[in-house]
Amino acid sequence: MTKNSPVAIRGLYAITPDETDTARLLDLCKMALAGGATVLQYRNKRVSGEQAREQAQALLAMCRAYRVPLIINDDVELAAKLDADGVHLGIDDGDITAARSTLGASKIIGASCYNNLGLAQQAARLGADYVAFGACFPSSTKPHAPRADMTLFQQARELGVPVVAIGGITLDNAASVVSAGADAIAVIGALWNAADIKAQANQFNQLFS
């Protein structure tokens, strides 16, 4: 099933850190949301099972209060169980058609396309709501991520779905990512490592105003 309905994926797309302390995770995310993050992705490679469910459930309640969509990384079943706003799938995370049939037409499905326009074309054809390219810059969060050329963004815009950039994005390079054509910037390290997360989120978002 294809969908491609317009979804507002624009601005700072915050992705959670690998935080095992749930209270701390919630505090951090609250600051990012207060600073104006427009999308939150729950991605935690250090917890699983019941703790992942608890963290995602608590973040969903917080995101609802801020009217910000919560996307679950990797796990379609968790997204469905919680009635979260969508899922983000990499190349090894299951296929878009199956995710759509599990989640239904109203949910957001994002697809990692690495450095590959062909993957983005296929993802859009299968009904992905946004396509993500990266790493745009060296990433200490994911040092072995393949590098993506930002000239892809303009080409991908022709697919008619939002283009998300990820990987090593900082306040020093984010303007170049936006001017290359990204609709949203997905950030981990440069957001959560900031001394003032709320102010940092606000500065990232201002690049889109």
Ligand X SMILES: Cc1ncsc1CCOP(=O)(O)O
Find the binding residues for ligand LCLJCK34 in span 65-104 (CB under 6 A). 73-74, 88, 90, 93
Label residue 144 exposed, middle or buried (CB < 10 Å: 0-12, 13-18, 19+): exposed
Let me know if 43 is a catalytic residue.
yes
Residue placing its CB nearer to Mg ion in the complex, 19 or 74? 74
Backbone angles phi, psi at 84, to 5 degrees: -70, 175
**Candidates 10, 53, 142, 147; catalytic one:** 142
How many other β-carbons are positioned within 10 Å of the β-carbon of residue 92?
Answer: 7
Q: Least distance from C-beta 138 to ligand X, angstroms?
A: 8
Rule CB under 6 A: say whether 107 interacts with ligand LCLJCK34.
no
Let me know if 3 is a catalytic residue.
no
Q: Least distance from C-beta 192 to ligand X, angstroms?
A: 8
- Residue 182: both structure tokens together: 């990204």
Rule CB under 6 A: say whether 165 interacts with ligand X.
no
CA torsion through residues 134, 137, 142, 145, sign: positive
Partner whose binding site includes residue 110, from Mg ion, ligand LCLJCK34, ligand X, none (CB under 5 to 8 Å by kind): ligand LCLJCK34
- Residue 207: both structure tokens together: 């690049």
